[in-house]
């Protein structure tokens, strides 16, 4: 689009007039919607031109797209952020007011944020990639703490409106379940490339009733039946990941997944037929990437739709083998979904028949046995289904892909070694440096030019400035300014003051036991007790910052949140350590919070047990912003150390190759008998040290010391090594050596661009 200030202001004034508002007097919601709509109006021509291009496209199927707040990133990529800021100022409007706009929290963590990064990077790289997912009425959930416990509230993100999306009523499709049917209505959002005129599309489906209102039932005063029918339809896209601790919850997740893929494939088939294109040649026009197992039902659904068009099963399967590819994101059970056959038959009988046909086909090909069974004992193994059919299967970091080949999918790798490839994850440098750290970006650009903004490996040119005193001073100054800004935000939202001269030690990510927030929490308590007793001396002032959401039904994860909040309360109310320690668990951690945190952190904690974290992308965001990693040799930490040097990070803990041997003889109780200071920290979970009216902390204690799987993630085993690394960080902080380590990480972050990742997908997998 071509920027025209007069046209923009006229459109803005008109939209505000329609809303009965005027310039600076309008509230934030009205201003946000008016500005966004004015930009979308000018963008539409470019968007439609991109849609009409005759080129083979990739459809990226994902249950999550963690987009975050769109307005600033879209204006940045259009190259008009400064122009819009100046134009709004002429009306007395500060663009910073839009920071109150809430995130679209349509994702849970790394998987959803990665999907959003890939869409932006693909548009920036002129790669024809479109996202397909669900338009959840409510985001993941809003998190708040009450007496230290996580409480979930509805995340009503649509209360601000959704001005960046366009409802495509004429393109709705019908999705049939065994017991009822719904409409899928698409909402399209532009995905804008960085200053290049490319606009791809994110299509999110909203479930709606076939008959929203039945007059005859209403006239008979049976309005409750209408309400029930409407609820059954709309609940499919009500929330991301409904609690599946019950059969009804599991069935709802099954409906969600099928609804997403069926609506998307029906839409694509319809357009293909309208264009006079042959469905047997669908792979000439499309390729589909399945982002983990959530969208794997797309494979049997595609076969069903092809059979409905008169194409035989074997030919339909052959088409699918050319169309679909599969990304595995973690070896955790939630990413290797299994569906009870009776449940699938009840909701999707035709799909179950096709899944059984796939099992029989695998058996004919000598594949569907043992660990490679697609159906076994009446259960469908979705990861196996994906690996059997998909052309390529990829992990998301070098170490993760090797684990898939040697362990998780070992038998599959033996049969199909050519299917397995690695594509290490990446992040978009536009949002995670240009947007969130503009002053640092300006310093970089002033020294090496703009090329790094779309070709991140060029940031290595900055290496020649690592020893430059002026640049080092600028880095320190900007880091301090970012810490001051984050501190003010945390003071306003959390009521905790973090002095900017403190070391900011950060762990922000989804709350899961394998990510070992518990290890970090125990270390904070260990340090606090040590300072109080005089056993730890010369400890540089440190602020420990946590951010995470726990799944509503994940009891131990929520208990760990309670534990951390109790530690924070103890530390922050103890004036005797106020000059040494502060602890804060930020509420409702999201993309916008992350934008402030990653550029202010001094050290990033990436401390999962080795072999558990597939890749991580938070580690990359911190690295790019000049933050050292305190972590295990897990996920992309391995590649970060390869790029920036292990000497410029702080590595600890058991290695992947050690884990199996360690667990054979490991006794967590023996660890505690040898470390009485750690034992006191662990026993505080059960001895009444901390208030715990709901009795949750005892469950965490038991997970460490009781049962066959006691301390399954080696929290206590790795503790001593972790503390040595943590004390090294503290000792180095504030030194010239620490600045050098930070800058070496920044200058070697080039590999971890999502631009590189999507190019590898396009070349290795999609053949675009």
Residue 78 to residue 551: CA distance in whole angstroms: 36
pLDDT over 90 at 161, yes or no: no
Residue 614: closest CA among 399, 762, 306: 399
pLDDT over 70 at 319, yes or no: yes
pLDDT, position 105: 82
Q: What is the pLDDT of residues 647-662, one digit of tens each?
A: 999 999 999 999 999 9
Residue pair 111/64 in contact (Cβ under 8 Å)? The answer is yes
pLDDT over 90 at 304, yes or no: yes
Global confidence as pTM: 0.95
Pairing of strands 603-606, 393-395: unpaired
Q: Supply the DSSP symbol for 298.
A: H
Q: What is the pLDDT of residues 562-618, one digit of tens each?
A: 999 999 999 999 999 999 999 999 999 999 999 999 999 999 999 999 999 999 999
pLDDT, mean over the chain: 95
Cβ partners under 8 Å of residue 144, min gap 6: 150, 151, 153, 587, 588
Residue pair 386/594 in contact (Cβ under 8 Å)? The answer is no
pLDDT, position 223: 65
pLDDT, position 124: 98
pLDDT, position 214: 67
Residue 100, both tokens: 């109150």
732 alpha-carbon distance from chain centroid: 32
pLDDT, position 668: 97
543 alpha-carbon distance from chain centroid: 25
Q: What is the pLDDT of residues 393-424, one digit of tens each?
A: 999 999 999 999 999 999 999 999 999 999 99
Residue 414, both tokens: 């033996």
User: CA distances (Å), 616 to each of 194, 391, 746, in order?
Assistant: 24, 25, 17
Residue pair 192/123 in contact (Cβ under 8 Å)? The answer is yes
Mean pLDDT score, 194-213 = 93
If DSSP states are collapsed to H, E and C, what string results for 668-732? HHHHHHHCHHHHHHHHCCCCCCCCCCCCCHHHHHHHHHCCCCCCCCCCCCCHHHHHHHHHHHHHH
Residue 172, both tokens: 């709705």
Residue 487 to residue 494: CA distance in whole angstroms: 10
The residue written with tokens 């990077």 in the block is 121
Is 152 or 22 the better-scoring residue by pLDDT? 152
Residue 557, both tokens: 């994860």
For residue 431, give the 3-state DSSP assignment.
helix
pLDDT over 80 at 225, yes or no: no
Query: Domains in the chain, ordered, with CATH?
Result: 458-750 (3.40.50.2000)
pLDDT, position 245: 85
Percentage with pLDDT > 70 across the chain: 98
The model's confidence at residue 698, banded by pLDDT at 50, 70 and 90, is: very high
Mean pLDDT score, 443-453 = 98
Q: What is the pLDDT of residues 18-69, one digit of tens each?
A: 878 776 677 788 889 999 999 998 898 899 998 888 899 999 999 999 988 8
Residue 532 to residue 680: CA distance in whole angstroms: 14
pLDDT over 70 at 16, yes or no: yes
The model's confidence at residue 226, banded by pLDDT at 50, 70 and 90, is: low
If DSSP states are collapsed to H, E and C, what string results for 199-232? EEEEEEEEEEECCCCCHHHHHCCCHHHHHHHHHH
246, HSE (Cβ side, Cα atoms, 13 Å): 5
Pairing of strands 420-422, 393-395: parallel
pLDDT, position 217: 64
Overall residue count recorded for the chain in this entry: 768
Is 693 or 503 the better-scoring residue by pLDDT? 503
pLDDT over 80 at 256, yes or no: yes
Residue 653 to residue 716: CA distance in whole angstroms: 11
pLDDT, position 189: 96
pLDDT over 80 at 452, yes or no: yes
Q: What is the DSSP string of 111-171?
A: HHHHHHHHHHHHHHTT--EEEEEE--SB-S-EEEEETTEEEEE---GGGG--TT-EE-GGG
Pairing of strands 286-291, 199-209: unpaired
As annotated, the active-site residues are 329, 509-510, 515, 617, 621
The residue written with tokens 């209102």 in the block is 213
Residue 590 to residue 607: CA distance in whole angstroms: 20
User: CA distances (Å), 655 to each of 262, 449, 650, 671, 714, in order?
Assistant: 42, 40, 14, 18, 11
Residue 635, both tokens: 């996920």
Residue pair 716/671 in contact (Cβ under 8 Å)? The answer is yes
Mean pLDDT score, 176-186 = 97
Residue 243 to residue 553: CA distance in whole angstroms: 6
Q: What is the pLDDT of residues 344-378, one digit of tens each?
A: 999 999 999 999 999 999 999 999 999 999 999 99
- The answer to whether the Cα torsion of 663, 668, 671, 673 is positive or negative is negative
pLDDT, position 146: 97
């Amino acid at each position: 689009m071509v920027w025209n200030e007069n046209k923009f202001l006229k459109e803005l004034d008109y939209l505000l007039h329609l809303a009965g508002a005027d310039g600076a007097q309008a509230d934030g919601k009205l201003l946000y919607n008016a500005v966004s709509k004015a930009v979308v109006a000018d963008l539409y021509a470019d968007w439609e031109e991109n849609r009409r291009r005759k080129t083979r496209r990739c459809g990226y199927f994902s249950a999550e797209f963690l987009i975050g707040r769109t307005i600033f990133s879209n204006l940045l990529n259009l190259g008009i952020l400064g122009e819009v800021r100046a134009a709004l100022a002429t009306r007395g409007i500060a663009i910073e007011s839009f920071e109150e706009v809430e995130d679209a929290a349509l994702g849970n963590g790394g998987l959803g944020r990665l999907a959003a990064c890939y869409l932006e990077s693909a548009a920036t790289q002129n790669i024809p990639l479109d996202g397909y997912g669900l338009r959840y009425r409510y985001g993941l959930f809003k998190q708040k703490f009450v007496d230290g416990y996580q409480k979930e509230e509805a995340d009503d993100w649509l209360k601000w409106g959704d001005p960046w999306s366009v409802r495509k009523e004429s393109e709705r499709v019908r999705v049939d379940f065994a017991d009822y049917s719904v409409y899928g209505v698409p909402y399209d959002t532009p995905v804008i490339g960085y200053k290049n005129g490319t606009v791809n599309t994110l299509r999110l489906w909203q479930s709606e009733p076939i008959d929203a209102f039945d007059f005859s039932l209403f006239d008979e005063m049976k309005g409750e039946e209408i309400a029930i029918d409407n609820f059954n339809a709309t609940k499919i896209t009500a929330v991301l990941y409904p609690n599946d601790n019950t059969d009804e919850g599991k069935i709802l997740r099954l409906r969600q997944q099928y609804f997403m893929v069926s609506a998307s494939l029906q839409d694509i088939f319809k357009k293909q037929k309208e264009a006079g294109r042959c469905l047997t040649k669908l792979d000439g026009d499309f390729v589909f990437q399945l982002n983990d197992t959530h969208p794997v039902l797309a494979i049997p659904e595609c076969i069903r739709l092809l059979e409905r068009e008169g194409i035989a099963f074997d030919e339909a399967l052959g088409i699918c083998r050319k169309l679909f590819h599969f990304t595995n994101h973690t070896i955790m059970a939630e990413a290797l979904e299994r569906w009870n056959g009776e449940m699938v038959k009840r909701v999707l009988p035709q799909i179950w028949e096709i899944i059984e046909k796939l099992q029989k086909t695998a058996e004919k090909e000598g594949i569907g046995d043992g660990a490679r069974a697609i159906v076994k004992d009446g259960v469908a193994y979705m990861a196996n289904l994906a690996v059997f059919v998909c052309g390529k299967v990829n992990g998301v970091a070098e170490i993760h892909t090797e684990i898939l080949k040697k362990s998780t999918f070992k038998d599959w790798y033996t049969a199909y070694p050519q299917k397995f490839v690695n594509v290490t994850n990446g992040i978009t440098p536009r949002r995670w440096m240009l947007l969130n750290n503009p002053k640092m970006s300006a310093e970089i650009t002033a020294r090496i030019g703009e090329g790094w903004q779309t070709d991140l490996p060029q940031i290595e040119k900055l290496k020649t400035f690592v020893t430059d005193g002026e640049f080092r001073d600028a880095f320190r100054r900007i880091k301090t300014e970012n810490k001051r800004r984050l501190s003010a935000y945390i003071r306003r939202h959390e009521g905790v003051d973090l002095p900017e001269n403190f070391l900011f030690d950060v762990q922000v990510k989804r709350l899961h036991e394998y990510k070992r927030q518990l290890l970090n929490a125990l270390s904070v308590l260990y340090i606090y007790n040590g300072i109080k007793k005089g056993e730890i001396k010369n400890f540089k002032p440190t602020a420990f910052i946590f951010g995470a959401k726990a799944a509503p039904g994940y009891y131990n994860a929520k208990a760990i949140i309670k534990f951390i909040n109790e530690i924070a309360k103890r530390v922050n109310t103890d004036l005797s350590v106020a000059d040494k320690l502060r602890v804060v668990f930020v509420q409702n951690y999201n993309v916008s919070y992350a934008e402030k945190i990653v550029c202010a952190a001094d050290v990033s904690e990436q401390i999962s047990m080795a072999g558990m974290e597939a890749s991580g992308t938070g580690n990359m965001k911190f690295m790019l912003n000049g933050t050292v990693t305190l972590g295990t040799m897990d996920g992309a930490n391995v590649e970060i150390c390869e790029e920036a040097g292990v000497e410029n990070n702080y590595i600890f803990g058991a290695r992947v190759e050690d884990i199996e041997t360690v667990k054979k003889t490991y006794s967590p109780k023996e660890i505690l008998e040898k470390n009485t200071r750690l034992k006191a920290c662990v026993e505080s979970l059960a001895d009444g040290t901390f208030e715990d009216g709901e009795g949750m902390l005892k469950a965490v204690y038991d997970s460490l010391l009781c049962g066959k799987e006691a301390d399954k993630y080696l929290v206590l085993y790795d503790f001593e090594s972790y503390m040595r690394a943590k004390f090294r960080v503290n000792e180095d902080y504030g030194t010239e050596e620490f600045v050098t380590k930070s800058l070496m990480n920044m200058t070697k972050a080039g590999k971890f661009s999502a631009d590189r990742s999507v190019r590898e997908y396009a070349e290795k997998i999609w053949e675009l």
